[in-house]
């Protein structure tokens, strides 16, 4: 599914070049559950943005489903982001004035799906996340764990094959974090490829494989 060969992302600060990602080479296969571990500032979020086609590399080659990213048209990349990938972020990124149901419907609306089908699929995704009683609540009326469940429902409502989760337990207490990780294991068991970005070794141990990133350089965890 994902192949990177000597991928780099470089930022210029004054006269200095800073490698956010430094000649990274990695492969993630269909159906894997992979954690990418690194401290703050290590380049892991930049790497996730490149994997998720939210950003482009400055050097190297990124192949998604065997096709080089530079060979995708902008419309094709938009389709990849809308149909193939589900994103889950640390800060939930929910629209504050919208209900849980309306937040989950949004990706389907962007796909041009009928209002009736949007509603049915969003309701089913929220029920799957255990939020059948919270559909009409706004984010401010939900706990952190409930907000993250809404965010996961929004990520899975389009039936993506790949889920990218950037520090999904970072703003949650330990017990809620464990519950969210269990949800990712359920999604993985149902066939989703999961890429989990984290700074926490304990969380990373829940994945099948672990990659480490430090100063933009990626290595396979010896414990894998």
Residue 125 belongs to domain with CATH number: 3.40.50.300
Domain that residue 184 falls in: 31-45+77-220
Does residue 211 belong to any structural domain of this protein? Answer: yes
- CB-based contact 110:82 (threshold 8 Å): yes
Which pLDDT score, from 0 to 100, does residue 33 have?
Answer: 96
Give the per-residue pLDDT at 224: 45
219 and 209 Cβ atoms separated by less than 8 Å: no
CA nearest to 49, candidates 102, 97, 11, 105: 11
Report the domain count for the chain: 1
Give a yes or no: residue 53 inside a domain: no
Q: Confirm whether 61 is domain-assigned.
A: no
pLDDT of the residue at 24: 95
CB 25 within 8 A of CB 6: yes
Per-residue pLDDT, 143: 94
CB atoms under 10 Å from CB of 203, counted, come to 21
Q: Within a domain: residue 126?
A: yes
Residues in the chain where the model's pLDDT stays below 70 = 222-224
Contact indicator for 21, 184 with CB cutoff of 8 Å: no
What pLDDT shows up at residue 222? Answer: 67
Answer yes or no: is 67 within a domain: no
Neighbours of 85 (CB within 10 A): 21
User: Is residue 13 in a domain?
Assistant: no
State the pLDDT at residue 1. Answer: 87
Q: How many CB atoms lie within 10 A of CB 25?
A: 14
Per the rule left: phi > 0, alpha: psi between -120 and 50, beta: everything else, 173 is beta
Domain annotation covers residue 57: no
In a domain, residue 189? The reply is yes
pTM of the model: 0.90
């Amino acid at each position: 599914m994902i192949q990177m060969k000597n991928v780099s992302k470089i930022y210029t600060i004054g006269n200095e070049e800073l490698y956010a990602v430094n000649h990274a080479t990695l492969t993630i296969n269909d159906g894997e559950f992979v954690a990418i571990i690194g401290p703050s500032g290590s380049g892991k979020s930049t790497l996730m943005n490149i994997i998720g086609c939210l950003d482009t590399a400055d050097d190297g080659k990124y192949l998604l489903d065997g096709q080089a990213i530079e060979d995708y048209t902008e419309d094709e990349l938009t389709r990849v982001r809308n149909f193939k990938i589900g994103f889950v972020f640390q800060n939930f990124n929910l629209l504050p004035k919208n209900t849980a149901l309306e937040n989950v419907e949004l990706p389907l609306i962007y796909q041009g799906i009928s209002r009736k089908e949007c509603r049915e699929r969003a309701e089913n995704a929220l029920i799957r996340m255990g939020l059948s009683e919270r559909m009409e609540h706004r984010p401010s009326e939900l706990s952190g764990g409930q907000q993250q469940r809404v965010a996961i429902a929004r990520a899975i409502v389009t039936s993506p094959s790949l889920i990218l989760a950037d520090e999904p337990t970072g703003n949650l207490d330990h017990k809620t974090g464990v519950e969210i990780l269990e949800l990712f294991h359920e999604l993985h068991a149902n066939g989703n490829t999961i890429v989990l970005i984290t700074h926490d070794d304990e969380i990373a141990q829940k994945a099948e494989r672990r990659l480490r990133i430090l100063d933009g350089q990626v290595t396979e965890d010896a414990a894998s």
